[in-house]
Each structure stands twice: as C-alpha cells, then as structure tokens.
Amino acid sequence: MAMLDIEVMRSVAEVLKAMYKRGLVQVKGGNVSVYSGGLVYISPSGVPRHKLEWSDVAVMDLEGRIFRGRPSSEWRMHVAIYRKLGSKGVSAVVHAHPKTVLALDAIGVEPEVNLLAEAKIRLGCVARVPFITPGTWDLAEAVAQALNASGCRAVIMERHGAVTVSSGLWDAVDAMESLEDLAWIALSLASSRR
C-alpha cells in the first residue's frame, strides 16, 4: 500500500463538516471521497459529521480492500464512479441529501441548469436514477453509468439524494451547492405557478 496522504484525509473531514453546516447532510448522513495515488480516501460510516477528524477517514482501493477505518456504506458507489470515470479526470465524489433537490424530484420537476449560469457551468447537466436500494452494487453501477452516459457532473437518486463529481473535492462540493441552489429556485418558480 502507498503512503497515506494526511492532507487528503484532512480535506475529506473538512469538506464533510462544511456540508453538515450548510445543511446538505444529516449528522450521520452523506459521504465524500477523493481518489489519489491509487487509493480511495472516504468518509467513515457512523461518525457524526460535525465531529469528524482526519483520523476517522477510511482508506481503501478500487478492488474494495479496506486498509484503514470503516468506509461509508456507500463505498461501492464511489468505487464504481472512479472505475468508470477516473480516466476522465474524476477524482472527487460528493454524495449529499439536499432537501430542496429531493423535494423538487418528488413533485416530478427536473432542475433546468439554464436557469442559472453558475449551474450550467458547474453541473453541465443533471442526470437521474430511479430508486434503487442504497448501499448496493446495483445503485453504484446505475449512478456511475448515468454520469458516464450523460456527461453530467450531477445525478439525482430518487428518494435518496444526489451525487456530484469533479477533479477536486471543493469543486464537487461547489457543484452540490449549485444543484441545491438551482433546485430552490426551480421549486420556488414551480410553487408560484400553481
């Protein structure tokens, strides 16, 4: 195994804390990862997001071998995305449970990225995956395939949450925030038209 990158581990913990403060994840919900040096640095399962420390971050490889910690129950999704999109420059994955995105999806309204210049730039487009049981290889493969086939940097998972990808962790978070802001505006517009 390669030497562990403590700075990457720090960034994983810092990003998830920021997402909790922003209301994008619950106390033990959501997960983020970085693929670097052949290793996946991923947020742990069961650790409260506001108390996360770098030493809590789990480390594994793309074969699912765990070298350190207890990875998120969604580790399969992160691994599947890196396997499918790593060659396209994706090295950061953010999975959140943004309330407005889920509300918009529940009423059947697709977020239109052209509503906001920032959303178009950060997301490109938004793909969607129907409900599949969380934590499964079926969901992992469906999300990776949706991102790959669409070229989008975001995917909404019905009744579950959203995933954004990028070449950098903060950029992936920026994309998630952009998706949530876009959903808030789209939901407001949809409500005003009823």
SS3 label, residue 95: strand
The tally of domains found in the chain comes to 1
CB contact at 8 A, 180 and 187: no
Token pair in block for residue 186: 């789209």
- Which CATH number characterizes residue 134's domain? 3.40.225.10
Residue 75 lies in a domain: yes
Token pair in block for residue 99: 């309330």
Task: Verify whether residue 74 is a known catalytic residue.
Answer: yes
Residue 1 lies in a domain: no
The residue segments making up the domain with residue 15 are: 6-192
Q: What is the pLDDT along the chain (194 residues), one digit of tens a residue?
A: 568 999 999 999 999 999 999 999 999 999 999 999 999 999 999 999 999 999 999 999 999 999 999 999 999 999 999 999 999 999 999 999 999 999 999 999 989 999 999 999 999 999 999 999 999 999 999 999 999 999 999 999 999 999 999 999 999 999 999 999 999 999 888 877 76
SS3 label, residue 182: helix
CB contact at 8 A, 12 and 42: yes
Residue 155 lies in a domain: yes
Our measurement of the distance from residue 192's CA atom to the centroid of its chain's CA atoms, rounded to an integer in Å, reads: 30
Residue 164 lies in a domain: yes
Q: Please state the length of the chain.
A: 194
CB contact at 8 A, 131 and 55: no
Determine which one of 7, 74, 177, 180 is catalytic: 74
